[in-house]
Amino acid sequence: MKIHVLHENEAWTAPLFEELRARDLPFENWHLDAGLVDPRATPPEGVFYNRMSASSHTRDHRFAPELTRHTLAWLEAHGRRTVNGSGAIRLEIDKLAQYAALEAHGIRTPRTLGAVGRAAVLRAARALGEFPFILKPNRGGAGAGVQLIESLDQLAAVLDDPATPEPLDGTWLVQQYVRASEPAIIRCEFIGGEFYYAVRVNTSLGFELCPADACDLPDGPRAVRDHRGLQRPDPEPLPRHDRRQRHRGHRHRVHPRRAGPDLHLRRQHQHQLQPPRRGRGWRLRHGPPGRFPRPRA
């Protein structure tokens, strides 16, 4: 059965295609930056894996998510098996829908108000009543367009600035700012409801926090992963050769380029992060994917 990969970014899918070739699995590249959909046509057989990103517009693929949404509707209408189907693409390009889904499952999110129009955004900021706060587009991706706003005057200036791009769907989000104890976030990946891996991302350089190696910050140092699968600001690229480290008596190789979002496709055993204890920071646990490891007593 052929695997059809729906995407718009060759840099992100290259590791996936490399692994599929290595496993001798038939696949087809569906690059959906442009194209057509015929609802009466019969789709090919196979499994259809949606790898579309909300940040496609930052790569001049403005309508790739829309084309993907139409394509998925066509495939599902014909009973084809999709991975990350219509429900996933809807959430991918709608942050308000993401927050609603998280809250419905008992996961707390920062207080967020959606607003369309300059006056409504200012009203939302007053209603939130907290400074500083986060201003972000409802559809963004990789932190694009996210700003920290300190006052109503600054908000008005940002909205009136011709250099400020309008949200793609016209919706601004005014969101409570949660100040972290350290300038970092932990991005966790779950597959089939189980924790698979985590990446610690440095936030001291701003809000554009794409974890992929192909992503570069437009100004300043690039946030690159070190050999433990973490990220750190480093103006110099990491060596291309494999790094080795000892851990619990095991010796293993971890390539910095392979410690990204497609890590689970590259080896059967994952290097998972353990929560910090006694101020030592995050540590790696070597083993198969599973639940997030609990801190030791």
- The token duo for 260 is 């990204």
**What pLDDT does 151 receive?**
96
pLDDT (0 to 100) of residue 278: 40
Which stretches within the chain are classed as H helix? 10-22, 64-77, 86-92, 95-104, 118-128, 152-160
* Cα torsion 79, 8, 206, 225: sign: positive
Residues in the chain: 297
- In this predicted model, which residue has the larger pLDDT, 226 or 120? 120
What is residue 183's predicted lDDT score, i.e. its pLDDT? Answer: 83
pLDDT (average), residues 70-87: 96
pLDDT of 293 above 60 = no
Residue 276 has pLDDT above 80, yes or no: no
- Percentage of the residues of the chain whose pLDDT score is greater than 70: 68
pLDDT tens for each residue of 48-72 = 999 999 889 889 999 999 999 999 9
Cα–Cα distance between 264 and 239 in angstroms, integer? 22
CA atoms within a 13 Å half-sphere pointing along the CA-CB vector of 141: 19
Give yes or no for a contact between 172 and 114, defined as CB atoms under 8 angstroms apart: yes
Is residue 206 over pLDDT 90?
no
Task: Using pLDDT thresholds of 50, 70 and 90, give the confidence band for residue 212.
Answer: low
Model confidence band, residue 224 (pLDDT cutoffs 50, 70, 90): very low
Domains of the chain: 3-92 (3.40.50.20), 95-176 (3.30.1490.20), 184-287 (no CATH)
Q: What is the pLDDT of residue 180?
A: 82
The full DSSP string for the chain is --EEEEES-HHHHHHHHHHHHHTT--EEEEE-SS----TTSPPPSSEEEE---GGGGGGT-TTHHHHHHHHHHHHHHTT-EEES-HHHHHHHT-HHHHHHHHHHTT-----EEEE-SHHHHHHHHHHH--SSEEEEESS-STTTT-EEE-SHHHHHHHHH-TTSPPPTTS-EEEEE----SSSEEEEEEEETTEEEEEEEEE-TT-S----STT---SSS-EEEE-TTS-EEEESSPPPSSPEEEEETTEEEEE-GGGSSTTGGGT-SSEEEEEPP-TT---EEEEE-S-SPPPPP-
More confident site: 261 or 171: 171
Mean confidence (pLDDT) of the chain: 76
pLDDT digits (tens, 9 = 90+) for 121-153: 999 999 999 999 999 999 877 677 889 999 999
